[in-house]
Chains A and B, each alone.
Chain A
Amino acid sequence: MMGVWRSLAMLILGAMATGAPAADMGKTLRITFQVAETGFDPVRIHDYYSGTVIETVYDSLLGYDYLARPSKLAPRAAELPQVTDGGRTYTFKIRKGILFTPDAAFKGKRRELVAEDFAYTIKRFLDPKNRSPYAFFFEGKILGLDDLAAEAKKSGRFDYDRKIPGFEIPDSHTLRIKLKDPDYTFSQILAFSQTSAVAREVIETYGEESNFHPVGTGPYMLDKYVRSSKIFLKANPDYRKETWDFKPGADPRDKDIVARMKGKQIPAIGNVEISIVEESQARMLAFENGETDLEYQLWDVSTRFMTEDNKLVPDFVKKGIRLDRIVDPEITYTYMNTLDKIGDQPNPVGGFTRERIALRRAIAMAYNLGDQIRIIRKNQSVKAEYPIPPGVTGHEPAWKNNIRHDPAGANALLERVGYKKGADGYRSQPDGTPLLIRYSTTPDERGRLFAELMKKSMDSIGVRIDIHIDKFPELLKAEKQCRLMVRGAAWIADYPDGDNFMQLLYGPNAYQSNNACYKSAEYDKLYEKSKLMPDGAERNKLYREMTKIMERDTPWIMNDSRYRNTLLHKQVVGYKKHPILHADWVYIDLDKRAK
Chain B
Amino acid sequence: MTAYIIRRLWQMIPTLLGVMLLVFVIFNMVGGDPAYVLAGKISNQEQIDNIRKQLGVDQPYHVQLGIFAKQVVTGDFGASWSTNEKISNILGTRLGPSLMVLVPLLFLETLLAIAFALAVAYVRGSLTDRAVMIVCTAGMSISILVYIIVFQYWLAYKLGWFPVQGWGNGFWENLFVYSSLPILIGLVVSIAPNLRLYRTFVLDEINQDYVRTARAKGLSDNTILWTHVLRNASIPIITHVMAGLPGLLVGAFLIERFFSIPGIGREVILAVERSDFPVVKAITIYVAVATMVANLLADLMYKAVDPRVQLK
Contact = CB atoms under 8 A, between A and B. Distances in A.
Contacts of A453: none
Contacts of A230: 167, 262
Interface in B34-55: 34, 36-45, 47-48, 50-51, 54
Given A275-B260, A471-B30, A39 B84 contact: yes
A504 B90 CA distance: 38
A474 B34 CA distance: 9
Given A480-B36, A480-B48, A36 B270 contact: yes
A46 B259 contact: no
B50 A131 contact: yes
Contacts of B107: none
Nearest to B261: A229
Interface string A278-300: 11011001101101000000000
B88 interface: no
Contact of A473 (B36, B85, B157): B36
B249 to A, nearest CB: 17
Given A38-B82, A279-B258, 19 more contacts: A131-B38, A131-B47, A131-B51, A133-B40, A208-B84, A227-B85, A228-B94, A229-B260, A278-B257, A279-B257, A285-B152, A471-B32, A473-B31, A473-B36, A473-B275, A474-B32, A476-B37, A509-B42, A513-B41
Contact of B83 (A38, A281, A289): A38
Nearest to B45: A511
Interface centre among B32, B33, B257, B258 (most CB of A within 10 A): B32
Given A286-B165, A473-B275, A480-B48, A39 B259 contact: no
A472 B30 CA distance: 11
B244 to A, nearest CB: 25
Interface string B2-30: 00000000000000000000000000001
A291 B164 contact: yes
A104 interface: no
Contacts of B160: 289
Given A134-B40, A513-B41, A477 B33 contact: yes
A26 B206 CA distance: 65
A95 B156 CA distance: 50
B171 to A, nearest CB: 14
A472 B273 CA distance: 9
Given A208-B84, A230-B167, A275-B166, A513 B33 contact: no
Interface residues of A, number: 48
Nearest to B275: A473
7 contacts: A278-B260, A282-B165, A285-B156, A473-B37, A480-B36, A512-B42, A513-B41
Interface in A35-94: 36, 38-39, 44, 46
Contact of A133 (B43, B44, B152, B157): B43
A128 B50 contact: yes
Contacts of B83: 38-39, 211, 227
Contacts of B259: 282
A277 B165 contact: yes
Interface of A: 36, 38-39, 44, 46, 128-129, 131-136, 153, 208-209, 211-212, 226-230, 275-279, 281-282, 285-286, 288-289, 291, 471-474, 476-477, 480, 491, 494, 509, 511-513
A39 B94 CA distance: 17
Contacts of B85: 39, 211-212, 227
A472 B262 CA distance: 25
Contacts of A132: 40
Interface residues of B, number: 48
B43 A512 contact: yes
Interface in B139-157: 149, 152-153, 156-157
B31 to A, nearest CB: 8
Interface string B70-97: 0000000001001111000010011000
Contact of B164 (A153, A211, A285): A285
A291 B257 contact: no
Nearest to A278: B257
A55 B258 CA distance: 28
A285 B270 contact: no
A474 B164 contact: no
Contacts of B40: 46, 132-136
Nearest to A287: B164
Contact of B41 (A133, A208, A229, A473): A133
Nearest to A139: B44
Kindly list the 7 A-B residue pairs having the minimum CB-CB distance in the complex, ordered from nearest: A133-B40, A473-B32, A229-B262, A136-B42, A476-B36, A285-B157, A282-B165
B274 to A, nearest CB: 8
Contacts of A480: 36, 43, 45, 48
B266 interface: yes
A229 B164 CA distance: 15
B97 to A, nearest CB: 8
B267 interface: yes
Contact of A282 (B32, B42, B152): B152
A44 B36 contact: no
A497 to B, nearest CB: 15
Contacts of B41: 46, 133, 136, 491, 494, 513
A281 B152 contact: yes
A227 B93 contact: yes
Contact of B258 (A212, A229, A281, A477): A281
Contacts of B93: 226-227
Contacts of A278: 257, 260, 266
A276 B260 contact: yes
A326 B260 CA distance: 28
Contact of B84 (A211, A277, A491): A211
Contacts of B32: 471-474, 477
A131 B157 contact: no
A227 B44 CA distance: 31
Nearest to A210: B84
B270 A474 contact: no
